[in-house]
Amino acid sequence: PRQTPIDEIIAMMIARDVGEMFPKRSVELGAPVLEVSNLRLGGSFENIGFNVRAGEIVGLTGLLGSGAKEIVQCLFGLKTADGGQIKVEGRELSLSTPVKAVRDGIAMLPEDRRAHGVALGLSVRENISLASLRRYSRSGMVSRGAENQAVDGLIKELSIKTPHRDALVRELSGGNQQKVAIAKWLSCQSRVYVLDEPTVAVDVGAKVEIYNLLNRLAGEGAAILLLSSDLLELVGVCDRVLVVYRGRLAGSFSGPAMNSDALLAASSGARSNADGVAA
């Protein structure tokens, strides 16, 4: 019997051509921007080490309780690691709070955007400029003109569908709320983007827009760490995928070895990877 190519199967599942769904462009990778070594947190993970280079999108995945979620939380200061080292552009960081992480150039998009990613009761403008008001302030006074200009630029750049900049975020669709959360970090000009399940509960069109944005950020030299349980997404978007199993890195996958079957096998402890665990 004729075997259906995997790309055709995926296209039938997502009702789009694979190349259209996951628009990947080639980016020349630079030096490591984020470097993690021997990171550990009791009861969650141990001896975690990897790096993310400028222009690189690295995926992170694991089953529920694997420790993958806690790793990204430690990178943003939501949890404090028991030990290990985190560097951004060669500078060692002490990430005890999210405020410190933001100041050190790390941005995070949490999984529950409605609870932690955006302030639903604030406007689009207030949400976008919330983390970067210093850029628009002089002598303690906010330049509303400069703020509005920057916000309008990001609304246009990210195609955020909103009636106006002062519309409440709660009035927007889930995909547009997610884009507002991303715009907030773009306004900070962050160097590292940590994304926790960024496409959960958004429609296919919004997913493609988010993937395009990740490609654009990578093209501008940002380092991106994408935590996702969507294996098709990881294979389609990432340059490399790290798998966490029972608190340890079970593998680093890239190229032909990076496929859904291999990621699932490593996530369940059934198979290690061909690349070697060192990342």
Across all residues in the chain, what is the average pLDDT? 87
Q: What is the mean pLDDT of residues 194-200?
A: 92
Predicted confidence (pLDDT) per residue in 18-75, tens digit: 456 787 777 899 999 999 999 999 999 999 999 999 999 999 999 999 999 999 999 9
At 168 the three-state DSSP class reads strand
Whether residue 86 contacts residue 269, with contact meaning beta carbons closer than 8 Å, is answered with no
Q: Is the pTM of this model over 0.95?
A: no
Question: pLDDT tier at 175 (50, 70, 90 boundaries)?
Answer: confident
Instruction: For residues 89 and 23, give the distance between their C-alpha atoms in angstroms, rounded to a whole number.
Output: 28
User: What is the fold, at CATH topology level, of the domain defined by 29-105+206-279?
Assistant: Rossmann fold (3.40.50)
Q: How far is CA 60 from the centre of its chain?
A: 10
User: Which amino acid is present at 205?
Assistant: G
Name the residue among 258, 239, 260, 263 with its Cα closest to residue 57: 239
Give residue limits of the domains in the chain.
29-105+206-279
